[in-house]
Structures are given as structure tokens and as C-alpha cells.
Structure 1
Amino acid sequence: MFTGIVTSGKTSEPLPEAYVYIPKAGRGILSNRMGYFALPVLPGDSVVFSYVGFKKQYTIIPRRLTETSFSAVIAMQEDVTTLAEVKVYPYATEELFKQALVNMKLPDEKERENLARNTSAEAMQRLAAMTPMSAAANYRYFMNQQFFGRDNLINRSQMTTIPFLNPFAWANFIQSVKNGDLKKKEYRQEMNATPRENLTRDDIIKYKN
């Protein structure tokens, strides 16, 4: 029979309801209000003592024990755990607490403000206007110049037509004479204007409309 008293190693006060058990046997008891316990054991058993706020302690029953009883005073060591600081703020009402919580500044408030400012619609538009074209945009611009420019890929393999022999051009000319377009100032300015070196897709659409 293993008997003894469980005490605090710092104050030597008894620890009531300390848990005394044998893990290998799967059984144990609690100490009484005076810290006393009595547990049947076998030689070589490892007895574990545990208590809230104290470190676990182990005691091994001697194998060459000749007596039928074994006694010991178990002095438990305190297990000190340092917790994070907690600040308590007094508020008279729940509404004051909610208002203070809403107005509380977060640690990453500056980062949030920078993120909102840099991702706003105005900032995105400014970046889009200042950022140069990407590789895909350059490719599209080059292809537009090739297809809609004066030196396009389609006309390279075709014979250049003579507008003087084009019947549709003559029909448009006769119709414009009947309409008196030659007398209009806008028409004369358009006819005398020098054609652009390169035409874009927007110019073609504007001209057709």
C-alpha cells in the first residue's frame, strides 16, 4: 500500500483532491481535504501526481521493497504560466462601450488607408493612362497598322487599281456634280486635304459613317 501526503513545495500546505494514478494499471484516486492518499501498488509501478497549477510529478515504487507499505511526502512544484496583459476599461453603459469599440483604431489602419487610396477608381484610371502598352497591346496596334494602313498585307499581293478607270468613282463624281457638292466649301477642303500616311481602324469607321 502506497500512502502519503500531497503538499505544495513552496508553502508546504496540503493539496486536497490531487489526482494520484498509475498510468500502466489505469487506476487512481484523489487525495482527501488534508492531502492524504492511500493507493495499492506493485513494486516497480510508476505513480503520477497531478494538480491544477502544479507540474506533474512521478514516483517509482522500489522493486526490492520488503515492506508491505510505502509512504512518502509529495511536494508539488508550481507551474507558473505568464499570460498576456489584459487591460480593463470601465464604461458606464453598453452604448458607450460600443461607441468606443467602433471608434477604436486598428494597428494596420495606415495600411488599410494606403490600400483603399491605391485601389480607388481614380488611381486605377491614372495608372491606366500612365502605364505604357503591354506586349499584347503593341501586337494589336501593329496588326491594325498592317491591316488598315496604306501598306496593308492584302494589297501587297494585288495590282494597284487606277481610280480614273473606276466606274463607281465616276458615278460618285457625277452624283456629286448634280448635287452641287463642288460648290461647297467643306467638300473642296476635303478634296484638297493631304491624305494621312497611316490610317487607323477608327479613321476607316469614321469615314464610312
Structure 2
Amino acid sequence: MKKLISQLTFSLFLGIVLMAIKAPEANAQGGRKVMQLSGIILGEDSVAGLPGVHVYVPKAGRGTTSNRVGYFSLPVLEGDEIIISAIGYERQFYRVPATDRDNLTIVVELVSDTTFLETVEIMPFPTEQIFKEAVLALNLPINPNEAVDVNEELMALMLQSVPMDGAANHRYYMDNWIQYQNDRYGPRSNPLLNPFNWANFFRSLRSKKK
């Protein structure tokens, strides 16, 4: 029995201490009224809500985000400064007004934040001077109409030794695939056995004699 009385006394004492601690905090807020702030966040020229928009009170360290239809709700105090922000939109500020109601509903329309970046030219040279030196080292002909001497043996060697690029490999694969599709349903025809080919051949010989 004495143990139970001691526990009740301690609990009562702890409750009084906690109330004494919370009292200055309530006085520090100036007795401002707590209300529930709700609303819908819309985009510019849009009738659909924006999801994932941050709605928070920076001084109090509390906030929330809008759901998939742009709806949000959080408890606030009168006079709170609320920031509404989202990526790609300009930041909006809202102050909770003094009212007798316990809840407040607002509609927020965010404006797109358009940022124009400067043109970036990608070059394999870190400086303009190195680029000029590389161009001068090519020793190109001054006259653009001047014919370039091409060695036929060198070109033939390059044709045999240089591997095919991506476009040539793709063309080679597609040709083989088409030929494979044609050979699936029957043997490949011999053009020498086609009588129409022979007729065209003799017709061409007669036209040449004339």
C-alpha cells in the first residue's frame, strides 16, 4: 500500500513539473490559436493537382507534402509563415491569418520557374590556342578546289584491313537475315533456270545488234 501511494505521489509530482515546463512554451507562443490548414496545389495552366509539393513552417520545423492529387493538410498557428516549394516552380509564401475558425482551406497556384542556360560548346580541346595549333598541324590545302592525290593501292589496302563500322555491320546483318527468311520456305532459285531471264537476255542482244 505504501509502495502504491509513493508511485502515485511521484506521478503527480512529475505531472506538475511537466506542466510547469510547458507553461512558458505556451506563453512564449503568445497564446496563438491552433488550426488545421488544408488546401490544393495546382500547377500553372493546369486543373490537376501537383503531387510531392513541400509545405512546411521553417521556424517550427514541421511540414508535409501534397499527395498524388495535390492535397495537403497540417496543423499551424496563427501568424505562421508557410513556404510552398517544388522543383521546377517558383517558391510561394503564405501567412496564416487570424480567424475564429478551427480550420482553413486554401488553393495555391504555382508558377513555373523557367531558367535559360547559356549555350555550351563541347570541344575536345581545353583552350582555343590548342585548337588553333591542332588545325594548323593538319597541313590542309589552301585551295579547297584543289584535287587530293589518292593512292589506289593504299585505298585498296585500307578497304581490306579496316574493319566495318556499325552501319556496315548492321547492313550486313540485315542482308543475311532477309536471305535467311527467303530460304526458310523453299530452296533458293537458280536464275539460269528461269526462262524469263533467258528471254530478257536474248531481247537485249537483239536490241544491241540494231
TM-score scaled by structure 1?
Answer: 0.42
Q: Considering only CA atoms, is the larger Rg found in Structure 1 or Structure 2?
A: 1
- Scaled by the length of structure 2, the TM-score of the pair is 0.42
